[in-house]
Amino acid sequence: MTTAEHNPGRTADVLIVGAGASGAAVAASLSEAGFDVVCIEQGHWQDSFKYPTADSDFEFKAMSSWSINPNKRRLPEDYPVNVEDSAVDPVMFNGVGGSTIMWVAHTPRLHPSDFRVKSQDGVADDWPISYEDLEPWYDLNDHVMGCSGISGDPANPPRSERPMPPIPIGRDGEMIAGAFDRLGWHWWPSDAYINSTRYGQGRDACNFCGHNMMGCYQRAKASTDLTYWPRAIDQGAELVTGARVREITTDSVGRATGVNYLDAEGNDRHRTARSVVMAANGIGTPRLMLLSDSKNHPAGLSNSSGLVGKNLMFHMFGGTFGVFPEHMDPWVGPVANIILSQEFYETDPDRGFLRGYTFQMSRGQGPGSIARGVAGHRVPWGENHHAVLERRFRNTLGLGPIGDDLPEEHNSVTLDERLTDSSGLPAPKITYRVSDNSRALLDHAITQGTKVLKEAGATEILVNPQSRETGWHLMGTARMGDDPERSVVDKNGQSHDIDNLFIVDGSVFVTGGAVNPTPTIQAIALRTADYITNNRGDLKA
């Protein structure tokens, strides 16, 4: 796909940094509203027919050139991340579509209570917006991305009819659901941005190939290169790829004027714009804001609160896997878009921790990944190797908690003093500790998950108390709020310090909730885009 001929010397209305989940949504919305939009993305377009799931060595690629971990993949468009002081490794994909190329596309929504954590549970902060404020954009996003699911879930407010029927939960899903039923605990088929039928332009139904995290050959999994970007480009948006933004530029009064970036050949370039929208994710965005310090912004861009890069949240994840006596053939069907349980979503003081978690069921995969380890339990080498492998392969299902990870200022993204990316720019350094609350939450989830798996018939339980390579959800590092001293952007994603700078990715989350964040990220991005359309006509030429 190419973008239309554009004049790089012009001043665009809106310049977006990052072409992932949020950047694509903003580009489509603002180009539809008649804004002149340009997006700069450090990665490239992907060809779905070249995804490695069609290669016989896909299991090897999953641990090297197609690893979810940029520190292992190490492509020129990736930037390294210093994780020496972090209990979690952030994972992501850098390219058109961003991390939606690799995501699982499990798409629940935040609960109303997630927006009122301070009022309800006395910790963290309330969001400046509510669930009801976001609901119209959740619905819009469900339609553009394509959501399979079924309404009527008693754990959530009623929601509009899903555009497609649910992804069938399979015999294995029914087995785990049956266990939840017998325990009297909640479960529901997952909302998924995966086609259960043909939906969207050139997008087939899922063929249950079983491997979501290396791109979807069928184009059944929604990634924004397939959903929002074709619309945005049809509407005139320009997308520059292989181009790494190194700095947001500002004028003498500190307003954003555009970006300096390195093009695909490594040449230093400048693009001017009337406004800048940051969509580089919860690590890329604070990194770039810290890199953009200047006389007017000595602590980094839009950082008068000192909170840029602070309050980094992941979702704490620990593995509980059950080994079943019968064959489940768990490589059939999406890897973790099956069922969820929100029995333990809300605070119960008797449990010894605040907030809660969602259980997300997952399937095992091919024999190589099973041998390398389920829940961190590598199959032993030597005489026992074959017996253990055979017991686990075909027979392993998981139940993992997505746990609310409350914000703490010491969990942060800063600039590393030594490590640099392929362009020589300082890499981000992550400092992250698992809090006592998160630890207690994970321990609870492991106990309850074990109960469910045993009830379902598991004969062996494999536990990983806390998984490391699970920093899928990058949140909180430029939070929204009404108070400029306690937040970086306002409820519309507009910087408190710079009125033509907006942030639309997971950085703006005030708390993390206990669900996968991307529908919320995209709903926020669409809402900010509508705010710009309706209130910031001054940004249009």
Q: How far apart are CA 352 and CA 363, in angstroms?
A: 30
Pattern 372-411, ligand FAD, x by CB under 6 A: ----------------------------------------
Of 15, 37, 62, 102, which one interacts with ligand FAD (CB under 6 A)? 102
371 touches other proteins (CB under 8 A):
yes
Under rule CB under 6 A, how many of the chain's residues touch ligand FAD? 42
For the CB of residue 120, give the shortest distance to other proteins in the complex, in Å.
Answer: 7
Nearest Cα neighbor of 283 from 431, 386, 125, 458 is 431
- DSSP conformation letters of 8-39: TTSEESEEEE--SHHHHHHHHHHHHTT--EEE
226 touches ligand SF4 (CB under 6 A):
no
213 touches ligand FAD (CB under 6 A):
yes
Q: How far apart are CA 334 and CA 205, in angstroms?
A: 12
Q: How far apart are CA 106 and CA 127, in angstroms?
A: 23
The pair of structure tokens assigned to 128 is 């400046």
75 touches other proteins (CB under 8 A):
no
For the CB of residue 89, give the shortest distance to ligand SF4 in the complex, in Å.
Answer: 23
359 touches other proteins (CB under 8 A):
no
427 touches ligand SF4 (CB under 6 A):
no
| Span from 5-13, 96-104, 299-307, 453-461 in contact with ligand FAD (CB under 6 A) | 96-104
Q: Compare residues 319 and 334 and give the one whose CB is closer to ligand SF4.
A: 334
Pattern 126-165, other proteins, x by CB under 8 A: ----xx------------------x-x-xxxx-------x
187 touches other proteins (CB under 8 A):
yes
45 touches other proteins (CB under 8 A):
no
Q: Compare residues 48 and 292 and give the one whose CB is closer to other proteins.
A: 48
Q: Compare residues 160 and 207 and give the one whose CB is closer to ligand SF4.
A: 207
For the CB of residue 329, give the shortest distance to other proteins in the complex, in Å.
Answer: 9
Output b/e per residue, 405-428; b: 16+ Cβ within 10 A: bbbbeebbbbbbeeeebbeebbbb
Q: How many helices (H) and strands (E) does the chain have?
A: 12, 18
Give SS3 for 358. Answer: strand
Interface of this chain with ligand FAD, residues 3 to 62, rule: CB under 6 A = 17-23, 40-43
CB of 34 within 8 A of CB of 13?
A: no
176 touches other proteins (CB under 8 A):
no
Output b/e per residue, 245-260; b: 16+ Cβ within 10 A: bbbbbbeeeebbbbbe
Phi, psi of 452 (to 5 degrees): -65, -45
Q: Compare residues 138 and 324 and give the one whose CB is closer to ligand FAD.
A: 138
Of 40, 216, 415, 452, which one interacts with ligand SF4 (CB under 6 A)? 216
For the CB of residue 331, give the shortest distance to other proteins in the complex, in Å.
Answer: 7
Interface of this chain with ligand FAD, residues 410 to 469, rule: CB under 6 A = none
Q: Compare residues 156 and 522 and give the one whose CB is closer to other proteins.
A: 156
Q: How far apart are CA 156 and CA 140, in angstroms?
A: 18
Q: How far apart are CA 139 and CA 357, in angstroms?
A: 23
CB-based contacts of 133, cutoff 8 Å, min separation 6: 527
Give SS3 for 236. Answer: coil
Phi, psi of 196 (to 5 degrees): -90, -15
Under rule CB under 6 A, how many of the chain's residues touch ligand SF4? 13
Interface of this chain with ligand SF4, residues 189 to 208, rule: CB under 6 A = 194, 206-208
199 touches other proteins (CB under 8 A):
no
Q: How far apart are CA 142 and CA 162, in angstroms?
A: 8
CB of 263 within 8 A of CB of 60?
A: no
**Residue 361 backbone zone (phi > 0: left; psi -120 to 50: alpha; other: beta):** beta
For the CB of residue 261, give the shortest distance to other proteins in the complex, in Å.
Answer: 29
For the CB of residue 362, give the shortest distance to ligand SF4 in the complex, in Å.
Answer: 12
For the CB of residue 291, give the shortest distance to ligand FAD in the complex, in Å.
Answer: 8
Of 29, 53, 82, 99, which one interacts with ligand FAD (CB under 6 A)? 99
Q: How far apart are CA 292 and CA 211, in angstroms?
A: 39
Give SS3 for 431. Answer: strand
Of 103, 187, 228, 344, which one interacts with ligand FAD (CB under 6 A)? 103
Half-sphere exposure of residue 252, counting CA atoms within 13 Å on the CB side? Answer: 0
208 touches other proteins (CB under 8 A):
yes
35 touches other proteins (CB under 8 A):
no
- Residues of the shown chain interacting with ligand SF4 in the complex, contacts defined by CB under 6 A: 194, 206-212, 216, 218, 220-221, 334
- Residues of the shown chain interacting with ligand FAD in the complex, contacts defined by CB under 6 A: 17-23, 40-43, 68, 91-95, 98-100, 102-107, 213, 244-245, 279-281, 284, 288, 472-473, 505-506, 516-518, 521
